[in-house]
Amino acid sequence: MKRLTSNQLQDFKVRGEKIACVTCYDASFARVMDAAGMDVLLVGDSLGNVLHGAETTLGVTIDDMVYHARWVSRGSTRAHVMVDMPFLSYSSDADACRNAGRLLGEGGAQMVKIEGGGWVIDIVAGLTMRGVPVCAHLGLTPQFIHQIGGYRVQGREPVVAEAMVNDARALADAGATMLVLEQVPSALAKRITDSIEIPVIGIGAGVDCDGQVLVMHDLIGASDRVPKMARDFLADNSSIAAAVGAYVAAVKAGTFPGPENSFD
């Protein structure tokens, strides 16, 4: 079975099929996710939290990301593999090109993900012109946690919401292939999803996004605390494989997230 391409993910949006995405960090879980029909595997810098036990993602290195991307790519055959560019790995055009090249060349990624608004537009444009597909990331951006003052919903203030809409459009115009919205009000997420042509993947952004992503450890109840935007799918299923399958089915059917997993 051939891997899903970015063009096929774009087709998902056009025909209204939801995109199921989850974080993944090794070959064994990649095989489980693949077998369950997961569309996108995100090798997230959230590994700093769930694998390393750190409070933030800021200590994750490009070497960490290349290492884990390599095994996720090896363990999967169908899912599109997207990899986070870690903190300060894309501060300049030169840094972004060098590090993204490693993620695609050594790690086997098909797409990289970058956090940030207006200031990353030129970075996104530079990467896409050089053949690197980019997923942008707006809303709660964990790499900016010290700047934004904690893990809290972004975009409730009208001026911030308007800036996010404008950033989303500008990033899409710059060549971004996909957009992640994290912890933003559902109405704002719907507005952004409807206003750009690229797929929008939500996490704590309501059901109207083109797809959903969860941290794997939240999905299977392995986190210390399952956050509001997530659901422990293992609680009602007999195995990890069944839990992952239930998550994929719920995303595809539009029954996850529910109001209890979303923000006003």
Active site members: 182
Say how many residues make up the chain: 264
Peptide bond into 257 cis (omega under 30): yes
Smallest Cα–Cα separation from 247: which of 82, 36, 99? Answer: 36
Q: Is 157 left (phi over 0), alpha (psi -120 to 50) or beta?
A: beta
Q: How far is CA 222 from CA 49, 89, 190, 233, in A?
A: 12, 29, 30, 11
* Cβ(27)–Cβ(261) below 8 Å: no
* Cβ(179)–Cβ(172) below 8 Å: yes
Sequential DSSP letters for 118-178: GGGHHHHHHHHHTT--EEEEEES-GGGHHHHTSS-----SHHHHHHHHHHHHHHHHTT-SE
For 94, other C-beta atoms within 10 Å of its C-beta total 10
Smallest Cα–Cα separation from 111: which of 65, 48, 52, 51? Answer: 65
